[in-house]
Amino acid sequence: MVNTQRKRVCISILNWNNAPETVECIQSLGTPSDMDVEVIVLDNGSNDDSVEVLSRTAGITLMRSDVNLGFAGGHNLVMRHALQHDFDYVWLLNNDACVEPGCLSRMLAAMEADPTIGAASPVIRDKAAPHGVQHALSLLNDTGTGVVEYPDLQQAALMQQSHPEKVILWGTALLLKRSTIEQVGLLDDKLFAYSEDTDYSLRCIRHRLKTHVVLDAGIRHDSPPHPRKPHYYYYTQRNAILMWRKYVGLAQLARVVRWNAKLAHDQLQRLQGNPAAQTAIKLGIWDGLTGKGGAYLHQRKLRPHQNLIVQSLLALA
């Protein structure tokens, strides 16, 4: 029997010192007529006029955190609210995204049609014309924590059909069923930002929940700058190590360590002349090795013995 009851969807958007882009994201949502939606914007410790701007923005519920909780902690706060208020779905949506017409409705329809889908994502296109595909499909590679990208939509459809158990979703516009959150739990606060979507996809797969890209649904998203800010390099390096500490068995450990060491070595080479980013990478490696999570403290420096250990790991590349 088909459940015809209107679904309640909580849309979680995080803002950190970027109210104009957040407002643009909100305006792109439109007003879906086939579901009941609450848009919750969490201001994640902004120190500009974001709260003032967002408090004047119609159609949202504004929540505030005095400190930046990161992607994981911020969305977790909203997800707890959604569970307490009996929402059927939670959509984690980046504030630098613009939603294409019908995106959420198509994703919801796909998840309602297949009860084995626990989490879904749309295709992600560039905001800038001609709006090329930025991301379509990621499949888990044989390291156990890395991915292979398939940006071509036709190939993505074939690969998803062939390997539904290996789909790794991006957190840019991640739609979760309430039952998924109840089974799998919240995002991993320790990761703070980056890799938490890969982690959540792996946890869904372990719970035998399908992770699925809805290829006829889309959002538009800012292309990443180059070089990025130092915190990006810190989180990606640290969390890559935290992920293999969490998921990789002894049989694969040496191979994965060398793989990560090569990625870090190559990135350091590309960032010659950017000492802040290079320092962030080395700090990320150290904190990953020692199991440290949470926010990046940019004023830190490696001690001589710590630097020696990091250089020894990089030498494996």
What ranges do the domains of the chain cover? Answer: 8-221, 230-314
pLDDT value, residue 1: 42
Question: Which residue positions in the chain have pLDDT lower than 70?
Answer: 1-4
CA angle 65, 69, 73 (to 5 degrees): 110
pLDDT value, residue 266: 94
- Whether residue 3 contacts residue 29, with contact meaning beta carbons closer than 8 Å, is answered with no
- Whether residue 97 contacts residue 219, with contact meaning beta carbons closer than 8 Å, is answered with yes
β-sheet bridge partners, residue 150: 137
Nearest to 191 by CA among 199, 182, 201: 199
pLDDT value, residue 33: 86
pLDDT value, residue 242: 94
Pick the CATH number of 8-221 from 3.40.50.720, 3.90.550.10, 1.10.240.10, 1.10.10.60: 3.90.550.10
Amino acid at 65: S
